[in-house]
Structure 1
Amino acid sequence: MSSKWKQLKHKLEVPIDEDAYYKNDVWCNRDLIPMPPERRTFGVLGYIGYWSCSGSNISAWTVGSTLLAFGLSPPAAIGSVIVGGILTGLLAVFCGWMGERHYIGFTVSSRFSWGMRGSYFPVVLRVFVACMWFGLQALFGGQAMRVLWGAIIPGFAHMKNYFSAGSHLLTKDFIGLVIWMALFIPMLLIKPEHMQIPLGVSFVFFVGTCVGLLAWSVSNAGGAGAMFNEPGTAPNQGWAFMFGIMAILGSWGAGTLGQSDWTRYANRRFAPTLSQLLAAPFTIAVTATIGIIVTSASRDLMGGEIIWNPIMLLAGIQEKYDSDSKVRAGVFFASIGLVTSQLAISIVLNSVSTGMDMAGLCPKYINIVRGSYIMAAIGIATQPWQLLSTATRFLEVLSGFGVFMAPATGIMLADYHIVRRYKLKLNDLYTSDPQGIYWYFHGINWRAPVSFLMGVWPLLPGLVKTVTSDSGGDTALDGWTKLYHLTFIAGLLISGSIFWVLNYFFPPLGLGEEAPFVDDVVHGVPSPKLESERNGSDQANVGTEDDGEKVLAKETVNV
């Protein structure tokens, strides 16, 4: 029985490359090692495609609703979106730098800031948030699919609901979700380094949807609509403008934290930079602006009803024109853009990063693909339709996770850019050896949790007031609420500054040391040693046979 159990465990292990120079253990597998040259396939156009999908989607479309509801005028909302997009691009550059330079993702990079064991905390935190967000994105994808099929079969759009009212889920939405998931699951098998074409196709379809809705609404309303010219209602437009900028950073900030998950696929230095600095703010600003204009114009066309969600707008348009065949054709093609956009964004911002995080929790048995399947199962198991329908505050709570993501971002940026000055000992990021410089105290760098808590606690009172009704009239929390509205920049600066100060007065061991990951040099250029080993002239660092498996003889190199 013991022998059979060992055989089963061996079969469940994730695949390992032939002639691999790494081994699957508690810290390492194929998806966690510094990206080898043959898997670095993303160039400038590939990253423009990445940010085109990240910046042009339903979330960017509807971001204007938050800003206008807060009291900004439409022109001011557009201005804040542009500024917020530019800051998002800059943040993405700094967060993705370690991916470009050392070819490691967020999962591994957390180890040098938090310690080998301490890194589990930020990884688990990001996994939890990503699974929740995937459930919501999948629900939106299912609704878009329902609208698409409703355009093909008008009767489906009016399908009788066979679910109970307490389920908070329509039968047609459930069918749409099943069809959308049937498309999504096979896409998880596409390796991240081969995602350029699917991202490009998704972007083209979504642009068609945006242009089509913009042309329809403006031409029929005779302009941008009356709402577009209404003044802002916020008593302090300057403060409202700042809140708008923070809303953009909050929406995309968590994604930028994991930028290195994708920049590690760069085929040359600075390949992601152009897309981060230009494509990120451009796509976010243009999509949000179109969303504001279409929403304003469509209010005049839909009987005064404000419809922020483009999925619901398409369904409303079909109803308005009594399922006319030409209108259904337009709704069908526009729905394709929304369906593909949800597929792309779920892969780009959810499955790849979450799969890598889960691989970091159990590298021997989980890789990106398996982790993505686990994420999909958990995301659907959360029943996002229940969360959306029965707990309207839940979305505010989920958005409030920026309170935790911002300090984590500040710690990572301060450590890599200021404390360590881009110098990493890569081989120590994959070992349980207590002599490793990232082992700290029993695997935990105490500076990180202290800095994290100091960045989180000032934001909690504002979060509590925002997500609970108990404190609705408590003006004593107004100052805390204003600080909470600056969550991302406040949390980032507070935790980052404290982390830098702690490292200044209590410097950790190994600052300034560099080393490669086994036989690859620090910055990804093959060394003469590696070439000689491949030619068989040097036997150091070559795998040896142990119980029929190749096990790497680790070599530590100090540069």
Structure 2
Amino acid sequence: MFSKEKVAYWAKRLEVPADEDARYKTDIWCNRDLIPIPKERRTWGIWGYCGYWTVSGSCVSAWTIGSTMLSYGLNAQQAMACVAVGGVITGLLAIGCGWMGEVHHIGFTVSSRFSYGMRGAYIPVIIRSFTACMWAGLQLFWCGQSIKALIGAIIPGFEDGALQNLFSETSQLAKNDFIGFVIALIAFGFLILVPPEKMQKPFIASFTTFVGTMFGMLIWAVHTNHGSAGPLFKSAATTDQVGWGIMYGITAMIGSWGAGCLGQSDWTRYANRRGAPTLSQLIFAPIFITVTALIGVVVTSCTVEILDLETIIWNPIDLLPVIQQYYGNSSGARAAVFFASIGLVLSQLAITVVLNSVSCGMDMAGLAPRWINIRRGGYIMIVVGVLSQPWTLVATAQRFLTVLSGFGIFMAPFTGVMLADYLVVRKRKLKLNDLYVGDSSSIYWYSNGFNWRGFVAFGLGTVWLFPGLIATGGGYNIPIGWLRLFNLTFILGTVFSFVAFLIINYVSPPPGLGEEGPFYLDGDDDYATKRDLKADSRDEESATDEKLAETDVTEVPVLRD
């Protein structure tokens, strides 16, 4: 049944496809989704990246970020200041992390190889893949909750009827939750079929509908509350350590988008020219995040008075069904909830692609390039996300969610090491071909495929944050200093690992510094460069043909004897 011949046969049949005129070898280090993106696949311009950040910045996570700020004892005005400052820092961080994507057209999966070694890169890739799978399951479950609200607007009994019952006493999954989740999985399964270079139009649809949802809820909330912004904007700060609260708030803001910034090169490698992502990262990222957070605080604050809530409802996915019930399931309320839910559904699908699907697909492709590409990795991510039973985590394991959020203690050192290595130590010079060679002839092979410098710096950026993570997950009492370190996770983790990596490489420089070269394999010319030259030649021929076609025949000189 499992003969060597059958295994070899299916292993060959399941290999990922390569380009028709490929000049690269699909092997354990390389496939179509891992090579430097050739010019014909670089389809993202300035407005495409603006669309990216409208999706990443205008989402449910940005809507609810104010709840985190207020939990630190800040008032609404101070919370909004933290969001604005954190948004600007997030934009700068995205520029730094996405630089190698713009220049060399490689993503985090491949770039990890020059920091941690060809084999050592598996470790950060596995950690990021695990985190992405868990978050993808949760994001898709919340997408299912949005679909449940949408269906509940059409069929009011769907929310509060027999379908609200659990499958069993121990399942913790209601029937209507299950239906919404399954529909979300099917929709996302089709979305994975769209390659990253053609994702602009789905992003535009997501942004347009979510903006409609945001401003629709804002207008309703302020109008119904007689122009008042609600009690949250009248409350004073509840902490006597406002300085620490502001630092925690800014760090929480950066940490919420830190994993996305770490993987910026996964998207900037599709840029059609240098600088295309910069405008969106520097301007649109802080604007959209801040505006969305502000609307979230205003709507939440107004609904406390409008609906006379005992418990503040921050999540708009949970808020819409409550609004519908407040109006007695009237036709007008149901129509409003229906259209508002569409924006939330599309936003959840898009944000899962932005932060999880593409990056996780690339990471899994890096683990087994011969058999996994971005698309297959996305489907594996869905399977792992479902097996994690996100409905159980949401229902009973708030502490687990806290710990999962605490995985920023790994993402931050990864960020610090990458920025220090690429921008400072290597001064943006890479020998691209050696990133796909798995033996000692590669300058990134180091010692048996591992670069100890990256791991030591990573450890020094992480070790100080572990006590806070353990205490948060297990309820242990520890000195306040450790908790403060943990609450500043992303800033301190990034800075500690950045400085440690610089010192280590100053004392013990890695081999190959200053060397750079193009991407080629098997003795062939630079594949990416050849494809670019062909594309440029086609562009020039097309432009010449168009110019001749526009020329008036009467203006063409006639040669006579």
How far apart are the structure 2 equivalents of 1:5 and 1:125?
29
2:76 to 66, 74, 77: 74
How far apart are the structure 2 equivalents of 1:512 and 1:259?
24
Which letter maps to 2:429? K
1:106 aligns with 2:111: no
In structure 1, the residue matched to 2:217 is 213
In structure 2, the residue matched to 1:395 is 401
Which letter maps to 1:293? V
1:23 Cα deviation from its structure 2 partner: 1.0
- 8 Å Cα contact 1:105-1:260 kept in structure 2: yes
How far apart are the structure 1 equivalents of 2:526 and 2:101?
15
In structure 2, the residue matched to 1:139 is 141
1:3 Cα deviation from its structure 2 partner: 4.2
1:293 aligns with 2:298: yes
How far apart are the structure 1 equivalents of 2:383 and 2:5?
31
For residue 232 of structure 1, give the secondary structure of its aligned residue in structure 2.
Answer: coil
Question: CA RMSD, aligned part only?
Answer: 1.7
In structure 1, the residue matched to 2:257 is 252
For residue 118 of structure 2, give the secondary structure of its aligned residue in structure 1.
Answer: coil
Deviation sequence 1:211-234 (CA, Å, 0-9, x none)? 011011111112111222111101
Deviation sequence 1:498-522 (CA, Å, 0-9, x none)? 1111111101111000010016769
1:2 Cα deviation from its structure 2 partner: 4.5
Deviation sequence 1:405-460 (CA, Å, 0-9, x none)? 10111000000000000000000000112121000000000001111111111111
- Unaligned runs of 5+ residues in structure 1 are 536-559
Matches within 5 A, 1:55-70: 55-70=57-72
In structure 1, the residue matched to 2:180 is 176
How far apart are the structure 1 equivalents of 2:421 and 2:476?
39
1:269 aligns with 2:274: yes
Structure 1 length-normalised TM: 0.92
- Unaligned runs of 5+ residues in structure 2 are 539-561
Matches within 5 A, 1:297-446: 297-305=302-310, 306-446=312-452
Which letter maps to 2:224? N
- 8 Å Cα contact 2:39-2:531 kept in structure 1: no
How far apart are the structure 1 equivalents of 2:434 and 2:413?
25
Deviation sequence 1:104-123 (CA, Å, 0-9, x none)? 00000000000000000100
1:40 aligns with 2:71: no
How far apart are the structure 2 equivalents of 1:404 and 1:288?
26
Which letter maps to 1:446? W
For residue 62 of structure 2, give the secondary structure of its aligned residue in structure 1.
Answer: helix
Count the aligned residue pairs. Answer: 528
How far apart are the structure 2 equivalents of 1:348 and 1:520?
34
In structure 2, the residue matched to 1:490 is 492
Deviation sequence 1:214-259 (CA, Å, 0-9, x none)? 0111111121112221111011112111111000111000110000
Between 328-337 and 480-489, report the one with greater CA deviation.
480-489
1:26 to 25, 28, 53: 28
In structure 1, the residue matched to 2:231 is 226
Which letter maps to 1:197? K
Between 303-312 and 143-152, report the one with greater CA deviation.
303-312
How far apart are the structure 1 equivalents of 2:82 and 2:38?
40
Moved over 6 A (4+): none
For residue 509 of structure 2, give the secondary structure of its aligned residue in structure 1.
Answer: coil
Which letter maps to 1:186? F
How far apart are the structure 2 equivalents of 1:304 and 1:199?
34
Which letter maps to 1:95? C
For residue 167 of structure 1, give the secondary structure of its aligned residue in structure 2.
Answer: coil
- 8 Å Cα contact 1:130-1:350 kept in structure 2: yes
1:167 to 171, 182, 193: 171
How far apart are the structure 2 equivalents of 1:165 and 1:98?
51
- 8 Å Cα contact 2:56-2:354 kept in structure 1: yes
In structure 1, the residue matched to 2:556 is none
1:452 aligns with 2:458: yes
In structure 1, the residue matched to 2:550 is none
Specify whether residues 162 and 494 from structure 1 end up closer, same or farther in structure 2 by C-alpha distance, changes over 3 A only: closer
How far apart are the structure 2 equivalents of 1:133 and 1:401?
11
2:201 to 190, 197, 200: 197
How far apart are the structure 2 equivalents of 1:448 and 1:32?
21
How far apart are the structure 2 equivalents of 1:37 and 1:227?
50
Q: Identity of paired residues, percent?
A: 57
For residue 24 of structure 1, give the secondary structure of its aligned residue in structure 2.
Answer: coil
1:162 Cα deviation from its structure 2 partner: 4.1
- 8 Å Cα contact 1:12-1:365 kept in structure 2: yes
- 8 Å Cα contact 2:90-2:258 kept in structure 1: yes
- 8 Å Cα contact 1:209-1:333 kept in structure 2: yes
How far apart are the structure 1 equivalents of 2:78 and 2:476?
32
For residue 370 of structure 1, give the secondary structure of its aligned residue in structure 2.
Answer: helix
Deviation sequence 1:244-285 (CA, Å, 0-9, x none)? 100011100011000000000000000000000011111111
How far apart are the structure 2 equivalents of 1:238 and 1:493?
20
Structure 2 length-normalised TM: 0.92
